[in-house]
Amino acid sequence: MEFKSINQLKSLLDENKISVKEIAQTYIKKIKEKKDLNIFIYFDEDKINDQVKEIEKLPNNKKLKGIPIAVKDLFCTKNMPTTAASKILENFNPTYESFVTQKLINEGSLFVGKTNLDEFAMGSATNTSYFGNTINPLSNKDTPLAPGGSSGGSAAAVAADLCLGSTGTDTGGSIRQPASFCGVVGIKPTYGLCSRWGIAAFASSLDQAGIFSKNVTDASILLEEIAGYDERDSTSSNVSIPNYSKQLNSDLNGKTIGIPKEYTVDGISDEINAVWDDAIKSLEKKGAVIKYISLPHTKYALPTYYIIAPAEASSNLARYDGVKYGFRADEAKSLDEMYEMTRSEGFGKEVKRRILIGTYVLSAGYYDAYYLKAQKVRKLIANDFIEKFKECDLILTPTAPSAAFPLNEKQDDPIKMYLNDVFTVPASLAGIPGISIPYGKDKSGLPLGIQLLGKHFDEQEIFNAAFALEKDYE
């Protein structure tokens, strides 16, 4: 049995045509059947059934009652382990819920498990996880494909129909790129719209919780529920949250869509350009005005990101030392040795690489040359968007430079892996919202995504445009 949308399943529940228990059994069966994809780090049938008993007691007006949701294993969950896909947190059981997961629980969500990710969200293929690679459900038998990253498990869970929605985090593209690779919808909200409290930190000035779903309407429903002000998060914005799903419309008459010339880069496939062009033409037919624009500092986005993000990571990950919780090396003979061995054995290669880069750019003699300069460039990138949004309502770009690639294709070349974020990083540095929706396929039949970017806290605008474009493929 396949459920196509949250509203469809909610209607069946409201009409007593299906029970929460039956929903749970349906998805338990599906997850077991597709366990070889290694989508879930944590899956416990008994825990799901325990949730069912509690959810059944809730009134039907709970917006997400019985809706199966997968949770990226970066969000703290009180009754489930939280590992960040790292050995160093292998046995960590939080005593509290993250802001986002608590809000989903409050509305009756059914958590089906914790999804795999790149260790501490550092990666673009879900291939740095201590718990092994996640395989893209769209792979053929001969060639396992990467689901993207870092939220590859969450994107794959939706694509494999193991849930109706999932949580992810986006630091430099970690929702939008896997959404493109797996052929699902993925939204990174404005920085500060969703509280970061209870999410294992990678780069605090960039990390933002978001959503994967089968369609734009479901994404809008779920974002309504996880957004909101939280006084425990100093970066949380106290803004009113619109009823995105109720205000969805496909009227683009008079809307101006910016097309940045800097997103036409060397190495992008003709198929990506063709899909981008198709979306431009479709927007024109729907009444939008197309305006070609320049975001001149975009070319500096990747190096800027890969200075700032590792710098913040080196600071955030200093707390993992084996003293209070998590993995601790057994054979250390002194406190210093315990710190060194715990961190050496507990972190994977990519995490250690980024910690070292971050420590270097923050060190005496290099702080001004690298980190401070990167922060100044970040401001220039953000200003580019602010200025162009005076002329445009939205900006349209490709999501990723290619379709999903073979699982281990770029594993030994971190630079090639980092280039997967070339279209997503600028929006992250600027803190603006972005959504990726599937819009066409390559010659192998793999999905290709397009990205819509909007003004700060103007998620409604990008939802509406995505909703309009989505109708092309209904």
Selected catalytic residue, list 86, 109, 139, 150: 150
CB distance 184 to 214 below 8 Å: yes
What length is written for the chain? 474
Q: Which residues pair with 166 in a beta bridge?
A: 70, 212
User: How far is it, in rounded angstroms, from Cα 308 to Cα 419?
Assistant: 16
User: How far is it, in rounded angstroms, from Cα 442 to Cα 271?
Assistant: 6
Look up residue 369 and give its amino acid.
A
Look up residue 371 and give its amino acid.
Y
DSSP H/E element including 374: helix 373-388
Say whether 150 is catalytic: yes
User: How far is it, in rounded angstroms, from Cα 415 to Cα 405?
Assistant: 15
CB distance 110 to 144 below 8 Å: no
Say whether 174 is catalytic: yes
User: How far is it, in rounded angstroms, from Cα 84 to Cα 97?
Assistant: 15
- The token duo for 170 is 């986006």
User: How far is it, in rounded angstroms, from Cα 428 to Cα 424?
Assistant: 7
User: How far is it, in rounded angstroms, from Cα 107 to Cα 63?
Assistant: 6
For the beta carbon of residue 34, count every other beta carbon within 10 angstroms: 18
Name the pairing type of β-strands 68-72 and 110-115.
Answer: parallel
The helix/strand/coil state of 123 is coil
Give the single-character DSSP code of 37: G
Selected catalytic residue, list 139, 154, 166, 174: 174
Of the candidates 350, 347, 359, the one whose C-alpha atom is nearest the C-alpha of residue 311 is: 359
Cross-sheet strand order for the sheet of 447-453 = 40-42, 110-115, 68-72, 165-170, 208-213, 185-188, 434-441, 447-453, 394-398, 256-260, 289-293
For the beta carbon of residue 140, count every other beta carbon within 10 angstroms: 10
Selected catalytic residue, list 30, 34, 65, 72: 72
Name the pairing type of β-strands 256-260 and 185-188.
Answer: unpaired
Contacts of 466 (CB under 8 A, 6+ apart): 185, 216, 435, 437, 452
Of the candidates 352, 324, 407, the one whose C-alpha atom is nearest the C-alpha of residue 120 is: 352
The runs of H, that is alpha helices, within 183-259 are: 216-226
> What phi-psi label fits residue 326: left (phi over 0), alpha (psi between -120 and 50 degrees) or beta?
left
Mark 158-187 as b/e (b = at least 16 C-beta within 10 Å). Answer: bbbbbbbbbbbbbbbbbbbbbbbbbbbbbb
Active site residues: 72, 150, 174
